[in-house]
A and B are shown apart, each in its own frame.
Chain A
Amino acid sequence: MDRRVDRHPPLTASRLGGFAVMAVPLLFLGYFFVYPLLTVLATGFTTDGALDFGPLQTIFKRSALVNVAWFTLWQAVASTVLTLLIALPAANVMARYDFPGKRFVRAAIVVPFVLPTVVVGSAFLAVLGPTGPLRVDLRQTVWAILIAHVFFNYAIVVRTVGTYWERIDPQLLEAAQMLGGNRLAVFRKVTYPLLRPAIASAASLVFLFTFTSFGIILILGGLRHATIEVEIWRQATGLVNFEVAAALAFLQIVGISTILVLYSRYQERRAVQFTPRPAADAIRPATPLQRWHVISNLTVMAILLGGPLLILVERSFRSESGYSLAAYSSLGEPIGGLAVAPTAAMLNSVRFAVAATVLAVGIGLAAATVIAYRRGWIGRGFDALLMLPLGTSAVTLGFGFLLALDQPIDLRTSIWLIPVAHALVAMPFVVRTSVPVLRSVKHHLREAAATLGATPQQVWREVDLPMVTRAALIGAGFAFAVSLGEFGATSFLALPTNPTLPTAIFRLLGRPGTSSFTYAMALSTILMIGTAAAVIAIERLRTDTVGDF
């Protein structure tokens, strides 16, 4: 085949990635992200009606704030590298091997993702404190932060990379091994180049999450460790110092944007097209080495993820007189001071999560298509823009909504902001899981469809969609989890009281009394189980009959 042809985008691609598909995500991001963001920055940089960049200088003059910026960067890099190192072998296990309970494990690893940080933080304090099983006091150390970051982000790497890994033909690797490559060489020369887009995808998500880490740093980091995100929050809500907060927000966004642009350039260059294969034939571990590989990774999961979660479950059964089910028996009754029963709160949570997932998947797939089809700066810029909400401080965005969304319709206190804000954060997951798959789809398949009479829209529906469904559902699972866990800007909005499960948990944790605490742990346990069930259900939604893509 003529190698040079590939650099010329085929006509079908440019037609599909045209304005119509771009418009939806652009309008959504423009109105609900860019506009609020610019408004809040403009507000922060305006003194008595004139633009004033003094606060920026203030930041660089205060060594404490410079240290915060430096710490933010290096802990994010360290957390990302550590998460990759620990989670990549597990991604291989999930992609290649079959073992009892695999479907459950795949869903369960998402659980850490949804739990309110306050809840997980308390479990970590228990594990890493002087009375914990390790008998070392890691509280307020960087280690505590790094371990917690691995805990939270493990699933991102395992699932995004694992899904991609499944689709690489093992015969390819066997062939490479036949040609005399040892395992390491095969990984370096064959597997890694093919996996690189997915690894970069996962790494970028982990990086963004840890760069803007908030709750973990606050709870486990103590005074000595603060990220820009934490500092923005302290300045804006603790000290009501909007100028410094806006300057920090600006710094955060500039930093993130730079990294994102570099990333998407890299990502585009590295995209490899290969013929995907159905992701069905995982094997039972046969050799002792394979068994060891599977078992050791499952053990890591059990200790790293299961440990803290089990502590929460155990606590939900505690009572003055040994263990009891007391906390679970009153779930239908209103919690004092919350005015609704936990069951009602659960229903609210699910409603918001469904709405957010639908928004995130719909808009995210449109965006992923644009990014995958459009090479050059349009695709790149779009890619970076989409990821940006994940790297933007929740306070900034929340306050941005309040400042900007009062016209034409006053949406500032609308309940719809909840799914919108969740979708902003969840969309990158859909995009990140989908883009590598869409990019790996050979153009020939689309061209074949086009010459068989498929319009660009039909090409997308008949070729891209079936291929990307599985990846998009993985993203949808994350989106659902992100929404259930109440990430992001909603915590900084003023919204009518529609208590969700996390707010109920916060409320219970916010008052003394052992029943309150046990009750909060019971609700957390339910949130965990509900999440795992929801993720399993979402991933079963696959409709295609032949291949499992």
Chain B
Amino acid sequence: MTRHRKLVLPALTTAILLIATGCTSDDDTANEPPNELVLMTHDSFALSEGTLEQFTEDTGIAVTVLKSGDAGTMLSQAILTKDNPIADVIFGVDNTFLSRALAEGVFAEHESSSLADVHAGLIADPRVTPIDFGDVCVNYDRAAFTDSPPPASLLDLTKPEYRNMLVVQDPASSSPGLAFLLATIGTFGDDGEYTWRDYWEDLSQNGVLVASGWTEAYQGAFTAGGGGGDRPIVVSYASSPAVGVYFTDPPPREAPTASLLEGCFRQVEYAGVVAGTGHEDAAGLLVDHLLSVPVQEDIPLNMFVYPANAQAEIPEVFTSFSPVPGSPVELPVDTIEQNRERWIDEWTDILR
């Protein structure tokens, strides 16, 4: 898709152009280190104070963080500005949209120095570096299942015992929603006797509630969320029980929620050097910094996901309350890219 800006340049901009001539700033070359790097990321990005400052101390390069909405919005922005990038590094594109970003040519190749330390199976493409991963799993309110057993598998959720209990997110507007849809597709398959479509028909029959996003589902409809909803089962992250404990004052001894470790989908978040930034070398250093052990160890309690670097130590609250699912559902990024829109459309038709 090429932009045809010149077609629509109205007369007034020429006027402004005339006023503001002399303000053109040509970018430095790749070899010359810039004074500043721009890191574009989504709204959930967070690190403790001092983590990015360390990079500035080490290299003399300041880092400006641009927050650009949710992960989908960020990807759209990256694609729309790829001819004249607004950032040098992008962090936060995950495996559900990675192929699209790669196909659009958003990223330039970069091999990180600590790539060898990354958990097996996370590396997807030489243009992007895995930074963290999180598993989207079914969570439940333990208080609601003191007398009866909680669900043990995805299929359990279609049973009458769990009628009107589950709340999920719309995959067209929510990242965990899409991940959960992919988990069901990976589990039940796209064709065969009982496909993911049959599964969702059954969920629908069993009174599944669809919320627009994570906050609406967890804080609005989930019984253990803040809003006091009426649904004891919710799609969230494997780390949610731990984070819930961490952000409850005083912290309870037992987590009030738990994750169902079967049928989880692993979201891997990548960082990459933006193609055409002009500061490829420096940008590469910033990507490496994100994968360095101090930053990686800072990630869990700020972004509630697991570090990609195996050398990083995991906080205790994570290890005690949120075990990592053993065998998450996996789908190749290309398969996701080729089918995503069709799957979402089909899902929407079933649930609408």
Could you tell me which A residues sit within 8 Å of B by CB distance?
26-27, 30-31, 34-35, 38-39, 42-43, 46-49, 51, 64, 118, 121-122, 125-126, 129-131, 139, 218-219, 222-224, 233-234, 236-242, 315, 319-320, 326, 334, 336-339, 395, 399, 402-404, 406-410, 412-413, 491-497, 503, 506-507, 509-518, 520-521
Residue from the set A31, A38, A409, A517 with the largest chain B CB neighbour count within 10 Å: A517
For A45, the closest partner residue in chain B by CB is B4
CB distance from A195 to the nearest CB of B (A): 38
Instruction: Select B86's contact among A64, A337, A494, A510, beta carbons within 8 Å.
Output: A494
Decide if B226 touches A517 in the complex (CB within 8 Å): yes
B80 with A399: CB separation less than 8 A = yes
Are B76 and A399 neighbours in the complex by a CB distance under 8 Å? yes
B240 contact set on A, CB distance < 8 A: 512
| Contacting residues of chain B (288-309) with chain A, CB-CB under 8 angstroms | 301-304
Beyond A43-B3, A130-B230, A224-B352, 11 additional contacts (C-beta under 8 Å) are A26-B12, A118-B216, A241-B341, A334-B49, A337-B46, A491-B69, A497-B66, A497-B67, A506-B215, A509-B215, A517-B227
Interface centre among B19, B220, B244, B250 (most CB of A within 10 A): B220
Q: Which of B2, B46, B80 contacts A403 (CB 8 A)?
A: B80
Which residue of chain A is the closest to B42 with respect to CB atoms? A494
Count chain A CB atoms within 10 A of each CB in B173, B218, B236, B341 and give the residue with the most.
Answer: B173
Q: For B1, what are the chain A residues with a Cβ–Cβ distance below 8 Å?
A: 43, 46-48, 242
B66 neighbours in A (Cβ, 8 Å): 413, 494-497
Given the known interface contacts A121-B216, A129-B229, A494-B40, the answer about A49 and B13 at a Cβ–Cβ threshold of 8 Å is no
CA gap between A48 and B1 in the complex, in Å: 5
For residue B245, which residue of chain A has the nearest CB? A513
| In-complex Cβ contact of B172 among A31, A239, A491, A514 (8 A) | A239
- Minimum CB–CB distance from A41 to chain B (whole Å) comes to 8
User: Nearest residue in B to A408 (C-beta to C-beta)?
Assistant: B20
Query: In angstroms, how far is the closest chain A Cβ from the Cβ of B74?
Result: 7
B16 at the interface (CB under 8 A from A): yes
A residues near B38, Cβ cutoff 8 Å: 413
| Residues of the B chain whose Cβ atoms lie less than 8 Å from the Cβ of A509 | 215, 219, 226
Binary per-residue interface labels of chain B (74-91) against chain A in the complex, 1 for a CB within 8 Å, 0 otherwise: 111101110010110000
Name 27 interchain pairs, CB-CB below 8 A, sorted by A.
A27-B12, A30-B13, A38-B8, A49-B4, A64-B348, A121-B220, A125-B229, A218-B216, A219-B216, A223-B348, A223-B352, A242-B79, A403-B5, A404-B5, A492-B77, A493-B68, A493-B69, A494-B40, A494-B69, A494-B87, A495-B68, A511-B243, A512-B247, A514-B247, A515-B249, A517-B219, A517-B225
Which 7 pairs across A and B sit closest by C-beta, in order of nearness?
A517-B226, A513-B247, A337-B46, A494-B68, A512-B244, A237-B72, A408-B20
- Residues in B whose Cβ lies below 8 Å from that of A395: 73
Q: How far is the CB of B179 from chain A (nearest CB, A)?
A: 13
Q: How far is the CA of A503 from the CA of B25 in the complex (A)?
A: 32
How many whole Å from B299's CB to the nearest CB in chain A?
Answer: 11
Whether B70 sits at the interface, judged by CB under 8 Å, is yes
CA distance A339 to B303 in the complex (A): 13
Closest to B239 in A: A512
From known contacts A218-B212, A219-B216, infer whether A409 and B225 are also in contact, taking CB-CB under 8 Å.
Answer: no
Most buried by B among A241, A242, A494: A494
Give the contacts of B161-184 with A (CB-CB under 8 A): 170-174
* Contact residues in B for A506 (Cβ distance below 8 Å): 43, 215
Q: Does B24 count as interface, using CB distance less than 8 angstroms?
A: yes
Residue on A with the closest CB to B241? A512
Q: Is B351 an interface residue (CB 8 A)?
A: yes
Shortest Cβ distance from A43 into B: residue: B3
- B214 close to A (CB within 8 Å): yes
B120 cross-chain contacts in A, Cβ below 8 A: none
The answer to the question of B23 belonging to the interface, with a C-beta cut-off of 8 Å to chain A, is yes
State whether A510 touches B230 (Cβ < 8 A).
no
In chain B, positions 16-34 with a C-beta closer than 8 Å to chain A are 16-17, 19-21, 23-25
Query: Judging by beta carbons under 8 Å apart, are B246 and A513 in contact?
Result: yes
> From residue A61, how far is it (CB to closest CB) to chain B in Å?
14
Distance between A359 CB and nearest chain B CB, rounded to angstroms: 17
- Does B338 touch A at the CB level, under 8 Å? no
A48 to B4, CA, bound (A): 10
CA distance A516 to B16 in the complex (A): 46
CB distance from A398 to the nearest CB of B (A): 8
The answer on a CB contact under 8 Å between B72 and A238 is: yes
* Distance to closest chain A CB from B23 (angstroms): 5
Of all chain B residues, the one with the shortest Cβ separation from A48 is B2
> A496–B65 contact, CB under 8 A?
yes
- Asked if B215 and A510 sit within 8 Å, CB to CB, the answer is yes
Within 8 Å CB of B68, what residues of A?
492-495
Task: Name the residue of chain B whose CB is nearest to the CB of A46.
Answer: B4
A406 touches B23 (CB 8 A): no
- Beyond A47-B1, A402-B77, whether A34 also contacts B10 by CB under 8 A is yes
Q: How far is the CA of A507 from the CA of B214 in the complex (A)?
A: 12
Q: Does B344 contact A (CB under 8 A)?
A: yes
**Does any Cβ of A come within 8 Å of B189's Cβ?**
no
Contacts of B12 in A (CB 8 A): 26-27, 30-31, 35
A222 and B80 alpha carbons, distance in the complex (Å) = 29
Whether the pair A336, B245 counts as a contact (CB closer than 8 A) is no
Contacts of A409 in B (CB 8 A): 20, 23
**Distance in Å: Cβ of A394 to nearest Cβ of chain B:** 10
A38 to B303: give the CA distance in the assembly, Å: 37
Q: Are B302 and A337 in contact (CB under 8 A)?
A: yes
Residues on B with C-beta less than 8 A from A511 are: 243, 247, 304
Question: Which residue of chain B has its CB nearest to the CB of A49?
Answer: B2
With A237-B70, A512-B240, A513-B243 known as contacts, the answer to whether A129 contacts B24 (CB < 8 A) is no
Establish whether residues B225 and A512, one from each chain, have CB atoms under 8 Å apart when the complex forms.
yes
Residues 205-248 of chain B, each 1 if its beta carbon lies under 8 Å from chain A, else 0: 00001111111101111000111111000001000110111111
Task: Check: B55 CB closer than 8 A to any chain A CB.
Answer: no
- Cα-based distance from A462 to B97 in the complex (angstroms): 60
The answer to whether A518 touches B20, judged by C-beta atoms less than 8 angstroms apart, is no
Report which of B86, B219, B303, B341 forms a contact with A413, defined as CB distance below 8 A: B86
Q: Does B95 contact A (CB under 8 A)?
A: no
A408, B17: Cβ atoms closer than 8 Å: yes
Given A223-B348, A494-B66, residue A46 in contact with residue B2 (CB < 8 A): yes
Chain B min CB distance to A439 (Å): 28
Residues of B with C-beta under 8 A to A408: 16-17, 19-21, 23-24
Residue pair A495, B67 in contact (C-beta under 8 Å): yes
Contact across chains for A129 and B245 when beta carbons are under 8 A apart: no
Give Cα A507 to B304, complex, Å.
Answer: 12
Residue of A nearest to B10 (CB): A35
Q: Which residues of B contact A503 (CB under 8 A)?
A: 43
Q: Please give, as numbers and ranges, the residues of chain B lying within 8 Å of A402 by CB-CB distance.
A: 77, 80-81, 86
Most interface-central of A139, A218, A240 (chain B CB within 10 A): A240
Instruction: Tell whether B257 is near chain A: CB-to-CB under 8 Å.
Output: yes
* Contact present for B76 and A315 (CB under 8 Å): no
- Give the nearest-CB partner of B347 in chain A: A223
Inter-chain contact B219/A240, CB cutoff 8 Å: no
Contact A494:B74 (CB < 8 A) given known A43-B80, A122-B220, A131-B230: yes
Q: What chain B residues lie within 8 Å of A131 (beta carbons)?
A: 228-230
A406 to B80, CA, bound (A): 12
Name the one of A240, A493, A521 contacting B79, with C-beta atoms under 8 angstroms.
A240
Whether A239 lies near B10 (C-beta < 8 A) is: no
User: CA A118 – CA B219 in complex, angstroms?
Assistant: 10
Interface flag for B116 (CB, 8 Å)? no
Q: Which residues of A contact B213 (CB under 8 A)?
A: 218
Which residue of A42, A233, A407, A413 is within 8 Å of B4 (Cβ)? Answer: A42
Q: Is the beta-carbon distance between A31 and B97 smaller than 8 angstroms?
A: no
In the assembled complex, which residues on chain A have CB atoms less than 8 Å from the CB atom of B229?
A: 125, 129, 131
Q: How far is the CA of A408 from the CA of B12 in the complex (A)?
A: 12
Q: Closest residue of chain A to B19, judged by CB?
A: A408
* Complex interface: chain B residues within 8 A of A407 (CB): 13, 17
